[in-house]
Structure 1
């Protein structure tokens, strides 16, 4: 960045003051919170995160310094909640991804279901993957398939659950043609995500830690003047 484009000291100080103000607002919202998912706290959190990000950038551009703060998930967070404070209805949106890891197991399970029904139709829908999926998801609840996915030859992928507040329940059949087209993220009360990405992050943190166990054992042997045990003893 050129010197001409650098922020002024006054701009950096103004950004710092904005962080202080956002901190006060966040604390006040926490002190007045009405529940675990209070939208006022959520909004104050996002405002604090945004103010801290601006300050961090200006501080770096002006003084080549950074802050020790890191606000997780600000880029992927939902927008501030603008739905009803006392919802009269709610919608639960669930998405679960699976990979067909063992097609033969999937087909075998569908054939068992088809044979048990024995409707005598002469059709064999279970002979194809898409037909087998239709049979299994028609026979079992989605939650049961989620808990028994390995039995059906499936491998879990990402999943997410969104709870969306509404002023009133929709009319029967109102959204069936396009159930996910009119989702307003600002009415999401809460969401829960499951992904192998999170597990990978934990594994990376563990892998980054030095494994000093072997070195510690060797040091202990040297300190105590001990000899490793003979395997033949």
Structure 2
């Protein structure tokens, strides 16, 4: 950025004063909140986030310095431009899990596969039922996910030695269903975000934000 385009010291100072004022308004709204979904707190948070972002940008442009604030990003979808009365829906679901207790996962898979002896769910991990599972976590995953619906695994994940990570569900609209088999080779291609009717995200990040009433994380030294 050229010197002529850099913000003046007065502009940076004014942005800093705006952050201070926004902090006061946010604290006042929090202290006076009437319930969990108090609109005044929501509005004050957005004003504080916007003021802090402006200050951060001006400070960087003028002095090549940054603030210790991390402003939550805007993950909202663009304006919907799909059909007003969709005739078809596409539901995309992603759930992440960490395998924290492999032995528990193996034990559950062997229990499921034992009665089948190579048929049904046990066949997912290969013929031979429980014997085919052996000590293979990969085979155990195939057995478990072949036996249970994804929603049941989500509700019982601890029983299978799994730990939940982030998850998301997107619902996209369309005018008609694709032809049978049309997308099977690439089922998880990114959908057109302007066709997405709604999305539902679950993340521990949101829980951490709720623990901090002002939802504006101050990063410590070395963060």
With structure 1 as the length reference, what TM-score do the two structures score? 0.57
Let me know the Cα RMSD of the aligned residues.
3.3
Matches within 5 A, 1:23-38: none
**Contact 2:117/2:128 (8 A) holds in 1:** no
Matches within 5 A, 1:44-83: 57=54, 75-83=74-82
Q: Which residue number corresponds to residue 126 of structure 1? A: 133
**Contact 1:81/1:186 (8 A) holds in 2:** yes
Name which one, 1 or 2, has greater alpha-carbon Rg: 1
Counterpart CA distance in 1 for 2:73 and 2:163 is 30
Flag the structure with more relative contact order, 1 or 2, with Cα contacts below 8 A and sequence separation at least 6. Answer: 2
Tell me whether 1:140 sits opposite 2:148 in the alignment: yes
Aligned to 1:80, the other structure's residue is in SS state coil
- C-alpha distance after superposition, 1:91-149 (max 9, x if no partner): 10000000001000000000001102134843633220010000000000000000000
Aligned to 2:4, the other structure's residue is in SS state helix
Matches within 5 A, 1:80-229: 80-119=79-118, 121-122=127-128, 124-127=131-134, 128-205=136-213
- C-alpha distance after superposition, 1:201-227 (max 9, x if no partner): 222449x9xxxxxxxxxxxxxxxxxxx
Aligned residue pairs total: 154
Deviation at 1:193, TM superposition (A): 0.3
Counterpart CA distance in 1 for 2:145 and 2:189 is 23
Deviation at 1:156, TM superposition (A): 0.4
Counterpart CA distance in 1 for 2:105 and 2:205 is 26
Structure 2 gap ranges (5+): 8-45, 59-70, 120-126, 217-223
**Contact 1:89/1:168 (8 A) holds in 2:** yes
Counterpart CA distance in 2 for 1:144 and 1:137 is 10
Aligned to 2:114, the other structure's residue is in SS state helix
With structure 2 as the length reference, what TM-score do the two structures score? 0.60
Counterpart CA distance in 1 for 2:183 and 2:100 is 33
Deviation at 1:191, TM superposition (A): 0.3
**Contact 1:125/1:132 (8 A) holds in 2:** no
Aligned to 1:91, the other structure's residue is in SS state strand
Structure 1 gap ranges (5+): 8-48, 62-71, 209-233
Does 116-125 or 186-195 show the bigger shift?
Answer: 116-125
- C-alpha distance after superposition, 1:158-206 (max 9, x if no partner): 0000000011111111101001225111111000000011111222449
**Contact 2:78/2:194 (8 A) holds in 1:** yes
